[in-house]
């Protein structure tokens, strides 16, 4: 028997009623249902590194099976501090400036819940990774969207400046960016940093694609963390994770790096939300984050080859593509296919063509803005990408 609408509305919170389930994760379920090649949700279908898996298995065998320290096992935090010093070039204190979380997903929401009050505004570049909108609702933040405009996905500086005001608590930057593949330039980062200082705001930086960059001849493509910029170290929360760099998205191990004051607030939220991330996987994390630079060089080369394989295939099939400089997604323009919108196109692609993508509208506050875009991921084996390319031929008329 169905319940009357009034009792349903009393049982579900206003917050939970304001957002839908993740469209990205839903597309994976749709792909499974219709046997489509899954280029929607960003997770590899190739094996995770053998040595990292071996350390995790050994940790379980060695009985690293009980709660780790709530804010992270010491050896993992030490490894994070050491790697950060190597890659980003600054010291962090593993005792007071790191919180290990259940993926960067928990890192972002914990950071927001630890710092944002009702009425505070948080600036989000759009298109955005879809979690940020529910993150804002759950942490009582009011999001203010600032467009990144194709094809370069650049922002208008006056527009960004106009989004900052006395209520602004923070800006979220996903760099390298999902879904656009944009890598923010030093000049852009300096400009944003200037506004954060002028308006006394924080910056949450999602840096989970920090090692997935594609060098270009005509421009410098380098990962710049907001925390590296003069005056920003104390007002930046770096959110990062093992998921993408070590191809272990199912492990759910991430971390936040922030000043001691912010870290102690994040640690409290984190403790009562989850107690902690999986202990044996943190042991494997301590190993993974100590790998030599060659590991990251290889990862980058492999992703560059996948990007170069997938882009021409999408173009041949009739998509307009926005060439990514980082991360492992391609945003595409579907206007050449004549579909009413991205949702109808995606349904057709999954059910009739046998390839899953993510409708562009799920990355925008106003669905109309993404109605002629879809996103593909290419963190897949060559044979998976080639199978998708083969199926996409059906799209050509
Ligand atoms: C930008 C971005 N942030 C966070 C996540 C989730 O990462 P994690 O597995 O660390 O929770 C993803 C996953 O696709 C992502 O693309």
pLDDT of residue 223: 95
Ligand 1 atom nearest the C-alpha of 254 is 10
Alpha-carbon distance of 79 to 240, in angstroms, equals 13
- What distance in Å separates the CA atoms of residue 201 and residue 262, rounded to the nearest whole number? 13
* Cβ-proximal residues to 295 (8 Å cutoff; 6+ apart), any chain: none
Residue of 102, 184, 241 to test ligand 1 pocket, by largest number of atoms within 8 Å of CB: 241
Bridge partners, 204 (sequence order): 172, 237
What is the rounded distance in angstroms from the CA atom of residue 259 to the CA atom of residue 397? 56
Determine the residue of 27, 48, 100, 105 to mutate for testing ligand 1's pocket, defined as the one with the most ligand atoms within 8 A of the Cβ atom: 105
Enumerate residues lining ligand 1, CB below 6 A.
42, 103-105, 129, 174, 178, 206, 208, 241, 243, 249, 254
Identify the pLDDT of residue 2.
44
| Dist. CA 385–CA 313, nearest whole Å | 9
Among 124, 207, 208, name the best residue to mutate to test ligand 1's pocket (greatest count of ligand atoms within 8 A of Cβ).
208
Distance 25 CA to ligand 1 centre (A): 12
Can you name the residues that pair with 236 across neighbouring β-strands? Answer: 203
Residue 243 CB-half CA count within 13 A: 27
Alpha carbon 395 to its chain's center? 29
Ligand 1, atom nearest to 106 Cα:
11
Packed helices 74-87 and 279-288: angle between N→C axes, nearest 10 degrees:
30
Q: 222-242: string of b/e by CB count within 10 Å (b at 16+)?
A: ebbbbbbbeebbebbbbbbbb
**C-alpha 22 – ligand 1 centre gap (Å):** 12
Q: Find all residues with CB under 8 Å of 268, minimum gap 6, and list them.
A: 114
CA-angle at 231, arms to 226 and 232, nearest 5°: 30
- Separation of 207 CA from ligand 1 center, angstroms? 9
> What single string gives the DSSP state of each residue in 133-155?
HHHHHHTT-EEEEEEPBTTTTB-
Assigned token pair, 163: 């989004």
Cα 250 to ligand 1 centroid, rounded to whole Å? 11
Judged by DSSP in three states, 159 sits in helix
CA–centroid distance, 132 to ligand 1, in Å, is: 10
Residues 327, 177 contacting (CB under 8 angstroms) = yes
Residues 6 or more apart whose Cβ sits within 8 Å of residue 235: 196, 197, 201, 202, 203, 259
**N-terminal to C-terminal alpha carbon distance within the chain:** 48
Question: Which atom in ligand 1 lies closest to the alpha carbon of residue 43?
Answer: 14
Angle at alpha carbon of residue 89, lines to 88 and 94, rounded to 5°: 85
Q: Is 268 exposed, middle or buried (0-12, 13-18, 19+ CB in 10 A)?
A: middle
At residue 335, the 3 state secondary structure works out as helix
Q: How far is the CA of 51 from the centre of ligand 1 (A)?
A: 23
Strand bridging mode 236-241 / 254-257? antiparallel
Structure tokens that stand for 147 in this block: 């467009």
Mean pLDDT, 10 residues at a time, the chain of 397 residues: 53 89 85 94 96 98 98 98 98 98 98 97 97 93 96 97 98 98 97 98 98 92 96 98 98 98 98 97 98 98 97 97 97 96 95 95 95 97 97 84
User: What's the 344 CA to ligand 1 centre distance in angstroms?
Assistant: 26
CB atoms within 10 A of CB 188: 18
Closest atom of ligand 1 to CA, residue 24: 14
Report pLDDT for 277. Answer: 98
User: In this predicted structure, what is the pLDDT of residue 384?
Assistant: 98
Smallest CA separation from ligand 1 atom 13, residue: 42
* Ligand 1, atom 16, residue with closest C-alpha: 178
Distance of CA 235 from the midpoint of ligand 1 (Å): 22
With H, G, I as helix, E, B as strand and everything else as coil, classify residue 373: strand
Contact 248, 52 (CB under 8 A): yes
What is the distance between the alpha carbons of residues 69 and 276, in angstroms, rounded to a whole number? 7
- Structure pTM? 0.95
Q: Angle, to 10 degrees, between the axis of helix 279-288 and the axis of helix 50-61?
A: 140
| CB 333, CB 180: distance < 8 Å | no
State the closest ligand 1 atom to the C-alpha of 178, by its place in the atom list counted from 1.
1
Q: How many CA atoms lie within 13 A of 160 on its CB side?
A: 24
Cα 244 to ligand 1 centroid, rounded to whole Å: 8
Q: Locate the ligand 1 atom nearest the alpha carbon of residue 242 and give its number.
A: 10
Q: How far is the CA of 178 from the centre of ligand 1 (A)?
A: 9
């Amino acid at each position: 028997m169905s319940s009357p609408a009034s009792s349903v509305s009393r049982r579900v919170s206003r917050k939970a009623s304001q957002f839908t389930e993740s469209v990205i994760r839903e597309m994976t379920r749709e792909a499974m249902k219709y046997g489509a090649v899954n280029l929607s949700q960003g997770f590899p279908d190739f094996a995770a590194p053998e040595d990292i898996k071996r350390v995790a298995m050994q940790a379980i065998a060695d009985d690293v099976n009980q709660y780790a320290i709530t804010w992270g096992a010491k050896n993992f935090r030490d490894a994070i501090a050491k790697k950060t010093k190597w890659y980003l070039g600054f010291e962090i204190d593993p005792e007071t400036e790191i919180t290990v979380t259940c993926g960067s997903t928990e890192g972002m929401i914990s950071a927001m819940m630890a710092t944002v009050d009702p009425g505070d505004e948080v600036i989000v570049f759009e298109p955005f990774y879809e979690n940020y909108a529910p993150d804002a609702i759950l942490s009582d933040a009011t999001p203010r969207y600032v467009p990144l405009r194709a094809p370069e996905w650049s922002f208008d500086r006056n527009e960004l400046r106009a989004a900052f005001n006395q209520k602004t608590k923070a800006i979220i930057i996903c760099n390298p960016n999902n879904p656009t593949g944009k890598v923010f330039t030093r000049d852009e980062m300096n400009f944003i940093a200037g506004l954060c200082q002028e308006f006394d705001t924080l910056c949450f930086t999602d840096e989970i694609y920090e090692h997935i960059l594609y060098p270009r001849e005509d421009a410098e493509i380098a990962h710049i963390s907001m925390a590296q910029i003069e005056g920003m170290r104390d007002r930046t929360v770096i959110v990062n994770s093992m998921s993408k760099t070590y191809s272990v998205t199912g492990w759910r191990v991430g971390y936040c790096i922030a000043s001691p004051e912010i870290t102690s607030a994040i640690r409290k939220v984190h403790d009562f939300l989850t107690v902690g991330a999986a202990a044996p996987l943190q042991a494997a994390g301590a190993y993974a984050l100590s790998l030599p630079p060659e590991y990251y060089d290889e990862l980058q080369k492999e992703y560059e080859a996948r990007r170069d394989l997938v882009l021409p295939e999408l173009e041949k099939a009739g998509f307009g593509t926005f060439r990514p400089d980082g991360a492992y997604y391609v945003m595409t323009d579907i206007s050449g296919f004549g579909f009413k919108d991205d949702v109808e196109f995606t349904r057709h692609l999954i059910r009739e063509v046998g390839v899953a993508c993510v409708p562009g509208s799920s990355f925008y506050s106003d669905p109309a803005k993404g109605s002629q875009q879809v996103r593909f991921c290419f963190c897949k084996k060559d044979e998976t990408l080639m199978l998708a390319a083969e199926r996409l031929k059906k799209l050509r008329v």
